[in-house]
Amino acid sequence: MKVLAIETTGQRYSCALWDGQRCVVEQDVHQTDASYDGVDGLVGSTLRAAGWGAAELQLILANRGPGRVTTIRSGLSYSQALGYAVGSQFHTVDTYQLTAAAARDSFDLPGEKEILVVGAHRTASGGHGGLIFTSDNPVGTLIPEPELLGASTSRVVVRAIGSRVRLSDQLEKLAAEVSSDARHLLAAWQAGAGKEWSHDSQLFWESG
C-alpha cells in the first residue's frame, strides 16, 4: 500500500511516503524557510523525490491536532481534497496518539509498556489529565492528574510537544520530549488509532 502522511500541527510541516512497511522518503520544512511553499509544495516535492504520482496513493494520513488551528486546518483541508481527487482513503490520528507512537519508536518500547502522554486535554470534571497508551489501547485512556502521580514512575512519560496544558511539576520533570513526525503517523494508524475523517469529525486545537 502506498501511503502519504502529512503533519501540520505546528510551524514545521513534515511529509512522509510509505510503501508497505518501508518509509521511502521523508521531508520537512519550516514556515520561515525560504523554500517554504505551503502543504502543496511540500507534498509535491516529496512525491517527486520518490518518483510517485499522486494518483498512486492509496491512503492519506494527517494529524488532526491539538496544535495550531490554522495549520491543522490547512493540512486537513489539503489532505481531504487530495484524497477525494485521487480516490484515496483519508484517515486521521491525534497528536497524543502520534506522540505515543513516536515514543514507542524512539525508545524501542515493547507493546505492553505503558506510555503516559502528559499535557493532555481536560477531563470531564474540568481538570487536566494525561493519556495512557498500550498496544492493546492505541486510542488512549484519559486519566485525571491525581490518579497519575502514584504510578507515573512505572510508565514512560512523554510530553505532547507544543501543548499549552501544564500538569504538576512532578509529572513535567519526568516527561521526555520526543520528535513526532509524519513518519510516525503510519505506526499510530497501524496500531489502530486512526479514524476515517469526515466534516463532522472532531478537530483539536491549542488549549490552555
Structure confidence at residue 194 (pLDDT)? 75
* Residue 106 in this model has a pLDDT that exceeds 90: no
- Residue entry with cell 511553499: 37
Three-state DSSP class for residue 13: strand
Higher pLDDT, 122 or 74: 74
DSSP 8-state class, residue 20:
T
Alpha-helical regions (H) of the chain: 38-50, 69-86, 95-106, 145-149, 169-174, 183-191
Question: What is the pTM assigned to this prediction?
Answer: 0.85
State which amino acid sits at residue 130: G
The reported pLDDT for the residue numbered 88 is 93
Rounded mean pLDDT of 190-206? 63
Kindly state the cell numbers that stand for 91.
484517515
For 160, the 3-state DSSP assignment is coil
* DSSP code at position 175: P
What is the average pLDDT score of the chain?
A: 84
Could you give the domains of the chain? 2-94+181-196 (3.30.420.40), 96-177 (no CATH)
Specify the range with the lowest mean pLDDT, choosing from 79-88, 100-109, 118-127, 164-173.
Answer: 118-127
**59-63 and 129-134 strand pairing:** unpaired
